[in-house]
Amino acid sequence: MAVPSSQSLTLPLLKILQDGKIHILKDLYRQLAEDIRLSEADKNELLPSGAERTFNNRVRWAKTYLEKGGFLRTVSKARYVITKRGLEVLASEANFINVYPLEFDEQNQFSSISDQELLEETSNTTFQITENDTPEEILEKSYYRMSEDLSTELLSKIKECSPEFLEKLVVDLLLAMDYGGTKEDAGQAIGRRGDGGIDGIIKEDKLGLDTIYIQAKRWNNTVGRPDIQAFAGSLEGQRAKKGVFITTSKFTNEAKDYVQVINKKIALIDGEWLAQLMIEYGLGVSECKRYIVKRIDTDYFVDEEVSSGKVGDKL
């Protein structure tokens, strides 16, 4: 048999986790290969780049899709456990999990779909690949989809870390974005507890002509208007004009509307944007592959066209 797609591996992978125990990734590779009776040749098949086994790569993507859907969670590095939602999926005796995209009903509960429904399914997702896409479009959509999945995985990793680590992360990110002056200045500014709702301050520029007050919260609950009002009040107490409120969760619409009508300039960075900024500025991620797409350089052939009379023929 050929190596199954990452989508086909999601349900068998989830079944291995149904015992509720913590499983190590390398054990999942072995157990899943045994469960689907994968041959040695298929297990050793490599990606076109030769950098990784195809099966291992697809298992990791299956894990990412399941984690994105809330069916499993990361306990620590390369260790995973099933969630309540994952157990509910298995209890429903679903025979398929669709990850293009994951299907949910209005109550955000998993809905199984038949193979026929999958074939007939049409999705309006930006990154959905269709048979009409050119190779360049497929490459671009694949890139953005991988970036989206990386963002989800990165945010999950951030939520596992301590509040102190989040503060360090904020320092590193703002420095990467050319805020904060020097590393030493930034390190001294962050982590000032009990200062009227301010977690720290950082220079806006290298000359320190203005300062930005920061609040960084590793929260799961949505941040509402009262939280932002309290932060704005803290800025007033410091006679500050600018602030950044960073959270690993989300902001309510009321909170977003509030910062638009006050005199203070407060930037709201939610978990999704935080992960995207980390990817953009290369923080907590590393480059693993680079593809360079080339096309014909028509300017190079101009002299040949002139000498052969092709240009004159066109006049």
Average pLDDT (279-287) is 93
Measure the CA–CA gap between 150 and 142, rounded to whole angstroms.
Answer: 12
Grade residue 128 by pLDDT with cuts at 50, 70 and 90: confident
Write down the pLDDT at residue 307.
60
Q: Is residue 90 part of a domain?
A: yes
Grade residue 56 by pLDDT with cuts at 50, 70 and 90: very high
114 and 186 within one domain = no
93 and 14 within one domain = yes
State the amino acid at position 141 in one-letter form: K
Q: Going by C-beta distance under 8 Å and a sequence separation of 6 or more, which residues neighbour residue 108?
A: none
Q: Is residue 154 part of a domain?
A: no
187 and 87 within one domain = no
106 and 25 within one domain = yes
Measure the CA–CA gap between 2 and 58, rounded to whole angstroms.
Answer: 12
**What does the buried/exposed string (b/e) look like for 234-269 if buried means 16 or more CB atoms within 10 Å of the residue's CB?**
bbeeeebeebbbbbbbbbeeebeebbeeeebebebb
206 and 270 within one domain = yes
Q: For position 245, which CATH number holds?
A: 3.40.1350.10
95 and 174 within one domain = no
Write down the pLDDT at residue 77.
80
Average pLDDT (240-258) is 93
Measure the CA–CA gap between 48 and 6, rounded to whole angstroms.
Answer: 16
Q: Is residue 59 part of a domain?
A: yes
The residues facing 16 across adjacent strands are: none
248 and 189 within one domain = yes
Q: Is residue 315 part of a domain?
A: no
Q: Total structural domains in the chain?
A: 2
102 and 180 within one domain = no
Structural domain ending residue among the three candidates 103, 118, 133: 118
Q: Is residue 130 part of a domain?
A: no
- Half-sphere exposure of residue 26: CA atoms within 13 angstroms, side-chain side: 1
Q: Going by C-beta distance under 8 Å and a sequence separation of 6 or more, which residues neighbour residue 247?
A: 216, 217, 218, 219, 223, 269, 270, 271
Coil vs helix vs strand at 200: strand
88 and 182 within one domain = no
Q: For position 66, which CATH number holds?
A: 1.10.10
73 and 14 within one domain = yes
Q: Is residue 261 part of a domain?
A: yes
Structural domain that includes position 261: 162-280
The residues facing 80 across adjacent strands are: 23, 74
Q: Is residue 40 part of a domain?
A: yes
Q: How many CB atoms lie within 10 A of CB 13?
A: 26
Write down the pLDDT at residue 99.
63
Q: Is residue 168 part of a domain?
A: yes
Structural domain ending residue among the three candidates 118, 151, 184: 118
185 and 237 within one domain = yes
Write down the pLDDT at residue 265.
92
Only one residue has tokens 């099933």, namely 82
185 and 99 within one domain = no
The residues facing 244 across adjacent strands are: 214, 267
Grade residue 200 by pLDDT with cuts at 50, 70 and 90: confident
Q: In Å, what is the CA distance from 51 to each residue of 5, 205, 215, 289?
A: 18, 42, 41, 9
Structural domain ending residue among the three candidates 53, 86, 118: 118
Measure the CA–CA gap between 47 and 288, rounded to whole angstroms.
Answer: 14
pLDDT at 104 over 60: no
